[in-house]
Amino acid sequence: MNYIEFTGKTVDEAVEKGLQELGLTKETAEIRVLEEGKKKLFGAVKARVEIAAIGGECKAEPCCSVPVSASEKTDGERAVEFLEGLFKLLKITACTELVSEGEKVEINVTAANTTSVIGKRGMMLDAIQTLAGAVANTGREDYKRVVVDCENYRENRETTLKKLAENLAQKAIRMEKRIKLEPMNPYERRIIHAALSEREGVSTQSEGKEPNRYIVVTPDGVDPSSPAIPARTERRNDRRGGSKGGYGNRDRGGFNRSKASGGFKKPYNRDKKGAPATGGTSMKASSDFFGIFLGNSGNSDDKE
């Protein structure tokens, strides 16, 4: 019998895929399990099975009688083969795995150095995914989506973006101002839009042109044509001075700046009865300039 190998997330998925492609049923097929699928710390190991027709009842006879050529590989298999060659050219040590192939092709990459595959904010991974999608859709009339992930980066990134969206929604409502995010790719913008689509009190819009298109979060009741402030503005203001950690008026320690005089105030030395002490040093803030007047040590006729 001529066996053909099939893969899937689980043994059942691999078997079902193989039977469907070969036009067989479990009663008319010989199935051998080579490896059971299992999850790992990073990624997963796909299940592998071999299937052959019993008594030559395979409806897809050419598939059973001859090896699968490069031209007969699936869209996902061609994309995986391309990525393996790409990583060799880029001298990136990585293992590429076809996770699933149905409505969309899912490919997982495990690398010795994930930064070399992911890049800054996933830019490298997005570029790899674009190339893999172009290869997988070569010769197809309808477009099939291809997703390339590296050790759960996209899932973690999605969680981060959802938290960011909620934080910015709260900030926009609190400040009663429109807040704009940094430029994002279409995939990440969709995550932000979806996260706030049912969120009460705010709405989202995409503005700008690619590749610098960004999202603006607008609280209800605020003019949508009003200028939007960057998402980090409030944080910078807090550092420069304000209610937290700034160099404004202080309640404890340091100098207390007087708004009325424009200088620094220090009370006169007084005795127990409340009168100014004769032997102490008195300092009075000048209303004309910043600093402390120390007296005139020069000519007494110099009015300046």
Flag whether 8 is in a domain: yes
CATH code of the domain covering residue 134 = 3.30.300.20
Q: Give percent of the chain above pLDDT 70.
A: 68
Most confident by average pLDDT, 58-72, 144-158, 256-270? 144-158
Asked whether residue 95 falls in the same domain as residue 46, the answer is no
Q: What are phi and psi of 296, to 5 degrees?
A: -110, 115
User: Measured at the alpha carbon of residue 94, what is the angle toward residues 91 and 95, in degrees to the nearest 5?
Assistant: 140
Q: Which domain holds residue 140?
A: 73-151
Flag whether 105 is in a domain: yes
Of the pLDDT bands very low, low, confident and very high (cuts 50, 70, 90), residue 296 is very low
| Token representation of residue 155 | 């899932």
User: Residue 302: what pLDDT?
Assistant: 36
User: Residue 22: what pLDDT?
Assistant: 86
Flag whether 64 is in a domain: yes
Asked whether residue 62 falls in the same domain as residue 80, the answer is no
| CA 238 – CA 244 distance, rounded (Å) | 6
pLDDT 10s digits, 42-89: 566 788 888 888 865 444 444 443 344 445 789 999 999 999 999 999
| CA 212 – CA 195 distance, rounded (Å) | 21
Flag whether 249 is in a domain: no
Asked whether residue 142 falls in the same domain as residue 81, the answer is yes
Flag whether 284 is in a domain: no
Flag whether 269 is in a domain: no
Boundary residue ending a domain (118, 151, 184): 151
pTM of the model: 0.51
Flag whether 285 is in a domain: no
Asked whether residue 172 falls in the same domain as residue 202, the answer is yes
CATH code of the domain covering residue 165 = 3.30.1370.50
> Domains in the chain: how many in total?
3
| CA 181 – CA 222 distance, rounded (Å) | 17
Flag whether 256 is in a domain: no
Boundary residue ending a domain (217, 235, 253): 235
Model confidence at 263: pLDDT above 60: no
Asked whether residue 87 falls in the same domain as residue 140, the answer is yes
Pick 29 or 302 by higher pLDDT: 29
Model confidence at 215: pLDDT above 90: yes
Pick 34 or 76 by higher pLDDT: 76
Average pLDDT, the chain: 76
Strands 214-219 and 179-180: what pairing? antiparallel
Q: How far apart are the first and last CA of the chain?
A: 113
Burial of 192 (0-12, 13-18, 19+ CB in 10 A): buried
Boundary residue ending a domain (151, 172, 206): 151
Asked whether residue 166 falls in the same domain as residue 113, the answer is no
